Chain A
Amino acid sequence: MDVPHTGAPLAVTSPDPVSSPEGQCPPAISLRGVVKRYGPITAVDGLDLDVPAGSCLGLLGPNGAGKSTTMKLLTAQAIADEGELHILGHELPRDSKQARAACGVVPQLDNLDVDLSARQVLQVFARLYRVPRSERGAAVERALAIAQLSSRGDALIDELSGGMRRRLLIARSLVHRPRLVLMDEPTVGLDPQVRQELWSLIADLRASGVTVLMSTHYIEEAERLADTVAVMAQGKVVAQDTPGALITQHAGKETMEVYGRPDRLADLEGLLREAGFGTRRTGPTLSVLRAEELPPSVVDRLTLDGVRRAATLEDVFVLLTGEEIV
């Protein structure tokens, strides 16, 4: 079910601030060789990432891939040990305050002031983000409309449902009409219906021209919302492209799933590896990538209990990160 459109403009499409000689926008986010260590652990390990202005980039990776650390680096709540970071043309960490003033941030963990009303939360953030006095009232009401809480503006945060709080958290990040919104796992831990609601909200935001960087470990979320997906593993971006191109490039057109007894699957695995095909095991299933390229001789030995399906981003994710999805 789609969320009814509130009619409230999510954010202004900022006019292109700097025109480079080629007439192209500089990337909203540009990271080069970024390294962040915590003692012996290297959370971010030579990260390169560009997020073009006006696009939605999904940073997809398993837990521990360095997504949250990357998000913290972008607001200078973590300081990189090495590398260059630019946000909207501002160098980090030196000019991070200017960058933060132009960004909205949706945290992974709810940090709303529970004693306040929805409207008060937005009033506080309108001040923190320096919305001019004359525009504050309108900005707060606009953000309430984005959160679909216009009729419940005076309800205390404690009285709101989990989904309403999440919507408010997103609306809170938009109160100053940022050019760039950073979302750290915006739908983590929510039930599927609420997640779909938030997807509509994020899709609207993206349609309004705001640049979005969204970290997630939900494949479907990245596939639906992101123009570009950057797959992150062990602190690096291991692949970056449109979801479709990533699938074609890394997983081919088709994946074949073979069900069977473990010993039989082990035999098949050996056979397929010999023939040069990538496989993965998920419980009682063996998946064969690039199944469309399987030679008939091999197919003959599989078709008995194999099912062909279109390759998905999940196949790419598992292939590139070596992680199974639960």
Chain B
Amino acid sequence: MSSTHVEHPPGESRARRLRRIEPAAIGGVLFRERTVFTRYWMSTTFSSVVEPTIYLLAFGFGLGALLSEIDGLSYIEFIGTGIVATAVLFSSAFPGMFGTFVKRRFQRTYDAILAAPVDVGELVTAEAIWIALRAGVYCNAPLLVAVVFGLPPSWGMLLVPFIGFLTGLGFALLGMFIAGVARSIDNFNYVISALLTPLFLVAGTFFPVDAIPGGAQIATANPLYHCVELVRGAVFGFGGPGALLHVGALVIFAVTMWRLAIWRLTKRLID
């Protein structure tokens, strides 16, 4: 730079370059997650894949022997598609809660990241994208196991990773929001018992939602139910434009949680 170099007025041209949500900041946070993932991918993958698979096999064989069909599907077809949502929930809400809390409170990772040119909005967005990508991959595991046990493969199954990603985004952000509210890691017990367990039971995974009185109405408020319906639609054929409503519900869920997670974590991370 020569001495005649004219500097732009501070905050003018550069402000335009540094927008609110910048790909470079998202990329940096994703790169960190990817690098850390190379160290613990085995244990994470194991729990994310094995747990829903055990549910699938236990219910599929245990309950499947007693049932002939549900809604015109064999039980393995019913649960093999429904359990995808459980896999999404396990691999998104839990990392969102525990991972965020640990990185915020114990490892102080977020303090280091926010001292770099990364804002809370970018941090939250990147972390949620990373978790949702993993959820989109992991949720295929029980589906593949179900195929081995008799679920007929279909081209529509190729949509399942995208459904998993969209649902995972919302639940990752829900988990991050909760991690921003929680004062200690023990607080998660309330959330797991009172929120996540009912969500995952009344989603049409193990039994049809209308088996419970008022279940159909309750389920429409459950994002996981919309995920289950979309997965069944993708595998067995969409019945009509209703699928778009399910997609819309999941988008609304994700956007709402995105705003809430950013708001709450900003309060926690910026004094």
Show 24 A/B contacts (Cβ-Cβ < 8 Å), sorted by A: A15-B1, A17-B1, A75-B115, A89-B10, A90-B11, A98-B10, A98-B117, A100-B116, A101-B117, A105-B112, A107-B108, A107-B112, A109-B111, A111-B107, A111-B111, A113-B109, A115-B39, A115-B40, A123-B35, A127-B31, A128-B25, A128-B28, A128-B29, A129-B116
A277 within 8 A of B: no
- Tell me whether A3 is interfacial, beta carbon within 8 Å: no
**Inter-chain contacts of B40 with A (CB < 8 A):** 115
> Once bound together, how far apart are the Cα atoms of A79 and B271, in whole Å?
6
User: What 18 new A-B contacts, CB under 8 Å, besides A36-B271, A127-B28, A128-B113?
Assistant: A16-B3, A72-B271, A75-B115, A77-B115, A78-B270, A90-B11, A91-B11, A95-B15, A97-B117, A98-B117, A100-B117, A105-B112, A115-B36, A116-B39, A124-B32, A128-B116, A128-B117, A130-B117
Q: Is A76 an interface residue (CB 8 A)?
A: yes
Number of contact residues on B: which range applies? 20 to 34
Contact of A240 with B by CB under 8 A = no
Assembled-state Cα–Cα distance A44/B108 (Å): 23
Asked if B245 CB lies within 8 Å of chain A CBs, one says: no
0/1 string, A70-82, CB within 8 A of B gives 1: 0010011111000
Main SS of the interface on chain B? helix
Flag if B7 contacts A17 (CB, 8 Å). Answer: yes
Residues of A within 8 A of B7 (CB): 17-18
Contact A100 B115 (CB under 8 A): yes
8 closest A-B pairs by CB: A78-B271, A111-B108, A128-B28, A101-B117, A105-B115, A128-B116, A115-B39, A127-B28
Among B15-30, those with CB < 8 Å from A are 15, 18, 24-25, 27-29
> 8 Å CB contacts to B: which residues of A79-106?
79, 89-91, 94-95, 97-98, 100-101, 103, 105
Are B111 and A77 within 8 A (Cβ)?
yes
* Contact between chains at B36 and A98 (CB < 8 Å): no
How many whole Å from B225's CB to the nearest CB in chain A? Answer: 37
Q: Is the CB of A113 within 8 A of B24?
A: no
Instruction: Tell me if A259 counts as interface (CB < 8 A to partner B).
Output: no
User: Across the interface, which residues of B come within 8 angstroms of A123, CB to CB?
Assistant: 31, 35
Interface assignment of A200: CB less than 8 Å from any CB of chain B: no
Interface flag for B182 (CB, 8 Å): no
Which residue in chain A gives the minimum CB-CB distance to B112? A111
Chain B residue nearest to A156 (CB atoms) is B39
Q: A128-B29, A128-B113, A128-B116 are in contact. Are A97 and B18 (CB under 8 A)?
A: yes
Q: Is the CB of B109 within 8 A of A111?
A: yes
CB within 8 Å of B: which A28-44 residues? 36, 38
B114 neighbours in A (Cβ, 8 Å): 75, 77
The answer to the question of A120 belonging to the interface, with a C-beta cut-off of 8 Å to chain B, is: yes
CA distance A79 to B114 in the complex (A): 13
Q: Please give me the residue from chain B that is nearest to A93 by CB atom.
A: B270
B109 CB contacts on chain A under 8 angstroms:
111, 113
| Inter-chain residue pair count (beta carbon < 8 A) | 102
How far does the Cβ of B221 sit from chain A's closest Cβ, in whole Å? Answer: 36
Q: Which residues of B contact A (CB under 8 A)?
A: 1, 3, 7, 10-11, 14-15, 18, 24-25, 27-29, 31-32, 35-36, 39-40, 107-109, 111-119, 269-271
| Cα-based distance from A77 to B116 in the complex (angstroms) | 11
Bound Cα distance from A72 to B32, whole angstroms: 23
Q: A113 is contacted by which of B107, B119, B271 (Cβ under 8 Å)?
A: B107
A150 to chain B, nearest CB (A): 20
A134 contacts partner chain B, Cβ-Cβ < 8 Å: no
Known A111-B112, A127-B28, A129-B116; judge A90-B270 contact (CB<8 A).
no
A199 contacts B by Cβ under 8 Å: no
B106 to chain A, nearest CB (A): 10
Closest beta carbon of chain A to B116's beta carbon, Å:
4
Q: Report B-chain residues with C-beta under 8 Å of the C-beta of A76.
A: 270
Which residues of chain A come closer than 8 Å to B31, judged between CB atoms?
Answer: 123-124, 127-128
B-facing residues in A3-34 (Cβ within 8 Å)? 15-19
A141 to chain B, nearest CB (A): 17
**Cα(A174)–Cα(B31), bound, Å:** 19
Of B7, B24, B115, B271, most A-chain CB atoms within 10 Å: B115
Which residue on chain A has the smallest CB distance to residue B111?
Answer: A111
CB-defined contacts of B29 to chain A, threshold 8 Å: 128
CB nearest to B37 among chain A residues = A115
Q: Please measure, in the bound complex, the distance between the C-alpha atom of A77 and the C-alpha atom of B108, giving whole angstroms.
A: 13
| A125 is an interface residue with CB less than 8 A from chain B | yes
Within the assembled complex, what's the spacing in Å between the Cα atoms of A95 and B20? 11
Min distance, Cβ B199 to any Cβ of chain A, angstroms:
31
Choose one: A75, A107, A127; the contact of B32 (CB below 8 Å). A127
For B271, the chain A residues whose CB sits under 8 A away are 36, 38, 69, 72, 77-79
Q: How far is the CB of A27 from chain B (nearest CB, A)?
A: 14
Contacting B at CB under 8 A, from A110-153, are: 111, 113-116, 120, 123-125, 127-130
Which residues from chain B contact A36 at a C-beta distance below 8 Å? 271
**CA gap between A103 and B116 in the complex, in Å:** 8
